[in-house]
């Protein structure tokens, strides 16, 4: 079980009233239903003050206890040496393959452990969760195994592959509700559902038992490292809500305090960095949902406090580099990683000078990649690498105009990948949407100069994201 402690100011009378209630919660640190929570706290304000004033701590014993429960349940995934990545970054790079897990994601660990620690009578009444996909699959798999009902809220933007897998793993024990455009909107709907139906919410990251279950990855890493006589210098872990990083960092610092722990998040969803900068979790004003498994608007209170104490540094990775890594892992190592699963490996590129000569472990957190996204992933990779470009160019509406563009603008090794044009009656000029893939990215400046000579009023769609999203 997780351990918690609280501190209260004596200056406010309501705080003093919460001391006894904190003791009650200490006796049951597992998940609470909304109805249970309401019986403990007399008002929403009292509950909020409690949440604001508590300090929480996950310890290594919590993680090892979770490991003993999960050992006969989950797959002990490989700690695999990557020759390709080791040669590329001049380091000894090992991959913790959670894409090999029963539901192809680490989320099973936290979901199963959190549900297992819920009192039997409570969980039989039904559990509820919110998830962009992987936590939902873990809950679904667990509930089918335990034969208990689950209601699972997922954003409407969740890839169809992940929705289908939740149905597959949960079968008749699971009801799926697609609600909201983001995880946070789904979570709000899930909590409202819990309150209305008196069921237990299984948090994907902001819960000590969930964190402990996810942290069992570190137990396996260091057990295997000991067998292989490895001293791990750097450990790279993806961040969504922070549960995985908090669990892994807690155990790692207890058994290998010199190991540097690097938390990795997408540049467009860097909610842990925002929390570190502010000194507490905050809502991101904008959220890029491409790395859907890590697109969390606000990290959890408990993971934040734990990560603040244990994590050595944070790293943000652009979506384009994530796409490069997904394609690289597949083509060079036959590993199918989802965007969030590739985050830790993607971070090696910007850290290559820091890790040279070291022993490094990257946690591949999941492999639930929708095959229908591969075209988009390749497109984003090409654009990020400066190979693919799109323009709107005015062409003369006469025969031979395209030939002139090819001869006057493109290099012999450039390729036209998109061409959309509709001839207008009684018009001398017409706009053309054209995609160009460069044979050599160093030729871009010269290409742009030639495009401008061809049409001084051309539009570079890389500089206008709204038009790009509409037209490409």
Q: Annotated catalytic sites, by residue?
A: 107, 365
CA dihedral 98, 101, 106, 111 (to 10 degrees): -170
What is the C-alpha to C-alpha distance for residues 182 and 131, in angstroms, rounded to an integer?
9
* Residue of 254, 252, 291, 284 whose CA lies nearest to 270: 284
CA dihedral 363, 367, 368, 372 (to 10 degrees): 120
Question: Count of CB atoms within 10 A of residue 176's CB?
Answer: 17
In the chain, what is the greatest distance between 2 CA atoms, to the nearest angstrom?
85
CB 130 within 8 A of CB 190: yes
Give me the sheet containing 79-81, strands edge to edge: 79-81, 92-97, 359-364, 234-238, 260-266, 313-317
What is the C-alpha to C-alpha distance for residues 375 and 133, in angstroms, rounded to an integer?
21
CB 345 within 8 A of CB 337: yes
- DSSP β-ladder status, 415-420 and 429-437: antiparallel
Structure tokens at 191: 């909590």
- DSSP β-ladder status, 313-317 and 260-266: parallel
Structure tokens at 445: 């400046």
Paired strand residues for 453: none
């Amino acid at each position: 079980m997780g351990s918690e402690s609280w501190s209260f100011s004596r200056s406010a009378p309501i705080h003093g009233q919460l001391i006894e209630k904190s003791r009650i919660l200490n006796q049951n640190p597992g998940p609470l239903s909304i109805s249970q929570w309401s019986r403990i706290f007399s008002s929403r304000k009292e509950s909020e003050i409690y949440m604001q004033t508590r300090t929480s701590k996950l310890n290594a014993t919590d993680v090892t206890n979770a490991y003993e429960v999960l050992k006969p349940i989950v797959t002990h995934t490989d700690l695999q040496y990557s020759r390709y990545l080791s040669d590329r970054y001049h380091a000894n790079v090992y991959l913790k393959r959670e894409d090999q897990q029963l539901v192809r994601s680490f989320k099973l660990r936290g979901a199963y452990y959190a549900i297992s620690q819920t009192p039997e009578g409570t969980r039989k009444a039904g559990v509820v969760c919110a998830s962009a996909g992987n936590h939902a699959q873990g809950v679904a798999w667990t509930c089918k195994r335990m034969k208990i009902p689950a209601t699972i809220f997922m954003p409407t933007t969740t890839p169809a592959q992940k929705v289908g897998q939740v149905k597959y793993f949960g079968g008749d024990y699971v009801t799926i509700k697609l609600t909201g455009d983001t995880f946070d909107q789904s979570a709000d709907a899930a909590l409202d559902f819990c309150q209305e139906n008196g069921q237990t919410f299984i948090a994907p990251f902001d819960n000590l038992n969930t964190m402990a279950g996810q942290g069992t990855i570190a137990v396996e890493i260091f057990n295997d490292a000991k067998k292989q006589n490895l001293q791990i210098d750097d450990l790279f872990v993806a961040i969504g809500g922070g549960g995985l990083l908090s669990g892994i960092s807690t155990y790692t610092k207890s058994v290998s305090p010199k190991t540097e722990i690097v938390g990795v998040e997408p540049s467009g969803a860097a909610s842990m960095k925002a929390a570190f900068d502010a000194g507490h979790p905050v809502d991101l004003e904008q959220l890029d949902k491409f790395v859907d498994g890590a697109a969390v608007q606000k990290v959890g209170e408990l993971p934040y406090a734990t990560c603040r104490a244990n994590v050595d540094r944070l790293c943000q990775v652009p979506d384009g580099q994530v796409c490069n890594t997904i394609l690289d892992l597949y083509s060079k190592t036959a590993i199918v990683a989802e965007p969030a699963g590739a985050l830790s490996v993607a971070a090696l590129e910007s850290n290559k000078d820091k890790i040279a000569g070291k022993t490094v472990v990257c946690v591949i957190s999941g492999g639930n990649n929708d095959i229908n996204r591969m075209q988009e992933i390749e497109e984003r990779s090409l654009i990020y690498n400066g190979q693919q470009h799109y323009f709107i160019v005015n062409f003369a509406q006469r025969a031979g105009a395209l030939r002139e563009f090819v001869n006057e603008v493109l290099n012999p090794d450039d390729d036209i990948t998109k061409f959309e044009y509709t001839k207008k009656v009684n018009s001398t000029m017409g706009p053309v949407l054209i995609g160009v893939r460069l044979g050599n990215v160093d030729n871009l400046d010269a290409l742009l100069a030639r495009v401008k000579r061809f049409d001084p009023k051309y539009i570079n769609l890389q500089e206008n994201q709204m038009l790009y999203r509409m037209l490409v």
